Structure 1
Amino acid sequence: MNNDLTAIKGIKVGHADNQKSGTGCSVVLTEADFTVGAEVRGGAPGSREFALTDSRAAVDKANAVFLTGGSAYGLDAAGGVMRYLREKDIGFQTGGGVVPIVPAAVIYDLEYKSNDYPDQEMAYQACLAADSSIQENKSIGAAAGSTCGKIKGIENASKTGLGHAARQSGELIVSALAVVNAFGDLKDPESGKIIAGAQDQAGNFINTEETIINQPEINLGFLRQNTTLIVVATNAFLNKSEANRVSMMAHSGLSRTIYPVHTLLDGDSVFTLASNQIKADINQVGILAARVVKEAILNSAF
């Protein structure tokens, strides 16, 4: 079993980026209509078609999930995924043809190497590259410009990459992909040690959480935009309400590894895709989701 989203039958993952510009995008394609759910806990999200993941919305399936750099500019790149799926006649059937359902979310990477951002052609290339091969924990795709620990500015932050993880319990499989562009630091929950984050001039971690706590007059403002994006996938049967619940439970993985987390400076968002292949207890699915999200985030640290 692959230790990533492709552990779930029917999922393909593709990436495209410009390493020189420090930005890119990643796409999760579903061969069949997967149930989709999501949950935002950060105060500064950037997203497209996110309202469709609400349990009250009519559509409950997704043809892809798109993650990209470029802040709000990068959202337009989702059109490349739409074009790819339309060419394959994949999407919600209407009288005017198919309309692909592609929820999307962005990270802010405009200060990493450049203020360039992914366009529709880059997203289209990510779709062409998508397959079910083993995914590596490396700085590619939507994580090409991701960093963490921004309290002292991007120049003192730590580079992160795409992180992956998967777990199996009997027939149940739950997996996760993480793009960690957090304001806070990453800590190993077993040791409590910072493994990536803000650093001083000597390269030592300064502990963002303690720095904030110990400065009563601190004013962080809104100068450094950040976001951690997660895609959880499972082979369990889930309706949209249950997929939303799993997304909520999966946020515990962020709370176990990112300090601080869910701030007004972050846009932390979790998507859940369910292939509806096996029956499983939703609580077990959610608990495993939190576990693999934690592991994927830790795997994003270099």
Structure 2
Amino acid sequence: MPSDKSIESVTQIPGIYAAHATNGAAGTGCTVICCPSGATGGVDVRGGAPATRETDLLRPEETVDVLHAVVLSGGSAYGLAAACGVAEELERRGVGLDVGVAKVPIVSGACLFDLACGSPSVRPTAEDGRAACVAALDGNGAPLARGNVGAGAGCTVGKLAGPERAMKSGLGEDVERAGELVCGAVAAVNACGDVLDPDTGEKIAGVRTPDGSAIADTVEVLLGGYAKMPLARTNTTISCVVTNARLTKAQATKVAQMSADAYAHAISPTHTTNDGDTVFVMATGEVEAPVDVVGALATRALGRAIADGARQAVGAYGYPAAADL
């Protein structure tokens, strides 16, 4: 069934709210995707260097069966603080898992390394997370901004030959529809490798040729022995898939696993020891659909969201973007 693009942002999916907090001067920020009524969550972590919060409770055998927000953040491990601000704001609004004496919002998150892009001493804080949460919940469903915003503010790609040959990337989004089933994806693209169009294989951004005029090939750089990653474990593509499908935790986990294939379609190489790749799933439970259909549609959305993150970026902090080549 062909995709219906009448839904253009995850904020148009009923029950889903999303927004950013961005520090453009420092090249960092965070992105919050909220579901105050509660979604079924899943996660898949394939990168070798993840920085995450509350991923274990999303495992199918664990007892917590609701997810209220996902936070994608810059700032490396320091950026995990942004999720605390989201949890505090949700609690203030009465959103959370009722544990008798309080309501505890279930907030999962992941961070990417952007400390080498803008200012290494400025990272997303709890206040940034709170501000993004407020903007999401009070934003009247405004479409999510893309490019050098939120968790995408300090994203770069193609870094295996050193920063002088890397490129600016950012935050991307895509929404796909098959009948009543909707799958949307938000991705902050800070990959070690190159970003490709998953539909055509065209290189969008990545390691540049030595003269900086064109995109080379990170795999060839790696195989040729010219890799000179200045800092290990400093890359990550972090994503959230949102769907209106009705899923169990086990099914949401399977959708996350299937969706992770989008990284292989749109990033080369991917899931390296230098990447902390993580995919979250939030399912709002409105539409019955086979898990394999949900997973296939989510994979398409995530692959295109990754490509969108590279295309929407604007050159900054000395890094050119795709539009500059």
Task: With the length of structure 1 as denominator, give the TM-score of the two structures.
Answer: 0.95
Give the whole-Å Cα distance in 1 for the aligned partners of 2:251 and 2:302.
17
Give the whole-Å Cα distance in 2 for the aligned partners of 1:253 and 1:36.
19
Residue 265 of structure 1 deviates from its aligned partner by 0.6
1:29-53 deviation per Cα after TM superposition (whole angstroms, max 9, x unaligned): 1131100000001110000111111
1:84 maps to what in 2? 89
Check if 1:126 corresponds to 2:132.
yes
Give the whole-Å Cα distance in 2 for the aligned partners of 1:15 and 1:191.
30
1:92-121 deviation per Cα after TM superposition (whole angstroms, max 9, x unaligned): 111331111000100000000111101111
The answer as to whether partners of 2:173 and 2:305 remain within 8 angstroms in 1 is yes
1:114 maps to what in 2? 119
Q: 1:292 aligns with which of 290, 295, 301?
A: 301
Residue 4 of structure 1 deviates from its aligned partner by 2.5
Q: Which moved more, 1:136-145 or 1:104-113?
A: 136-145
The answer as to whether partners of 2:182 and 2:245 remain within 8 angstroms in 1 is yes
2:275 maps to what in 1? 266
The answer as to whether partners of 2:198 and 2:304 remain within 8 angstroms in 1 is no
Query: For 1:104-253, what aligned pairs fall within 5 Å after superposition?
Result: 104-115=109-120, 116-130=122-136, 131=139, 132-199=141-208, 200-215=210-225, 223=232, 225-253=234-262
**Residues 219/150 of structure 1: CA separation in 2 closer, same or farther (3 Å cut):** closer
Structure 2: 5+ residue stretches without partners: 1-5, 312-325
2:47 maps to what in 1? 42
Give the whole-Å Cα distance in 1 for the aligned partners of 2:282 and 2:53.
16
SS at match of 2:215: coil
Identity percentage over the alignment? Answer: 40
The answer as to whether partners of 1:66 and 1:103 remain within 8 angstroms in 2 is yes
Residue 295 of structure 1 deviates from its aligned partner by 0.7
Residue 57 of structure 1 deviates from its aligned partner by 1.0
The answer as to whether partners of 1:150 and 1:224 remain within 8 angstroms in 2 is no
Q: Which moved more, 1:132-141 or 1:68-77?
A: 132-141
The answer as to whether partners of 1:3 and 1:165 remain within 8 angstroms in 2 is yes
SS at match of 1:174: strand
SS at match of 2:310: coil
1:95 maps to what in 2? 100
The answer as to whether partners of 1:4 and 1:177 remain within 8 angstroms in 2 is no
Task: With the length of structure 2 as denominator, give the TM-score of the two structures.
Answer: 0.89
1:176-195 deviation per Cα after TM superposition (whole angstroms, max 9, x unaligned): 01110000001224443321
Q: Which runs of 4+ in 1 moved over 4 A?
A: 217-222
SS at match of 2:20: strand
Give the whole-Å Cα distance in 1 for the aligned partners of 2:46 and 2:232.
19
Query: For 1:8-87, what aligned pairs fall within 5 Å after superposition?
Result: 8-87=13-92
SS at match of 1:300: helix
1:194-243 deviation per Cα after TM superposition (whole angstroms, max 9, x unaligned): 2101113333222101111233x967685351100110011111000000
1:255 maps to what in 2? 264
Structure 1: 5+ residue stretches without partners: none
The aligned amino acid for 1:121 is: E
SS at match of 2:201: coil
Q: How many residues align?
A: 301
